[in-house]
Amino acid sequence: MAAEFVTTIKTSEVPVGGLAAIDVRGTRIAVANVGGTYYAFDDACTHEQCSLAEEGDLAGTTITCTCHGSEFDVRTGKVLAPPAVLPVTVYRVRVEGDVLQIEV
């Protein structure tokens, strides 16, 4: 099935500097709000699968998985600090009215 934008939660559910985890068609995705711009990526840290929405600390566009200290760029999913080696998958996000749509 081709990827398409799926309506998820309201933008108000992810405050600035905040995170939320959403199940989108069976995939658990984390959403970060960086100064009003939303980024979506796999919620599971690629190191030991901690939930980034629950255990992550967001500072600017960097999310730190506090379980073991891995850092990722929420814009690209790229690893900025180990122990994680593999990037997290990122998803496209768009705002439609007051809801977030994520492409899966």
Partner 1 sequence: MAQAYVIVGASLAGATAAITLREEGAGGAVTLIGAESEPPYERPPLSKAYLRGEVPFDKALVRPPTFYAEHGIDTIFGTRATRIDAAARFVELDDHRRVSFDALLIATGARNRRVAIPGADLEGVYSLRTVQDADRIRAEMTAGRRAVVVGMGFIGSEVAASLRQQGLEVVAIDPSKTPLFRVLGEAVGQRLADLHRAHGVRTIFEDTVAAFEGTRRVAHVVTNGGLRLDCDLVIVGIGVEPAVDLLEASGIHVDNGVVVDQHCRTNIDGIYAAGDVANHYHPIFDRQIRVEHWQNAIKQGAIAARNMLGHAVAYDEIPWFWSDQYDWNLQYAGFHTKWEQLVVRGRLDSDSFLVCYVNDGRIDAAVGLNRAKDVRRVMPLIKARRAVHLEQLQDDSVDLRSLHASP
Helix (H) or strand (E) holding 91: strand 90-91
**Residue 68 CA, distance from chain mean position:** 18
Asked if 67 contacts 5 with a C-beta cutoff of 8 angstroms, the reply is: no
Q: Which of residues 13, 28, 68, 80 is near partner 1 by CB under 8 A? A: 68
> Least distance in Å: CB of 29 to partner 1?
20
Q: Which of residues 28, 66, 75, 99 is near partner 1 by CB under 8 A? A: 66
Told to check if 60 binds partner 1 by CB under 8 A, we report no
Told to check if 57 binds partner 1 by CB under 8 A, we report yes
Asked if 81 contacts 88 with a C-beta cutoff of 8 angstroms, the reply is: no
Q: What is the DSSP letter of 54?
A: H
Told to check if 82 binds partner 1 by CB under 8 A, we report yes
Told to check if 87 binds partner 1 by CB under 8 A, we report no
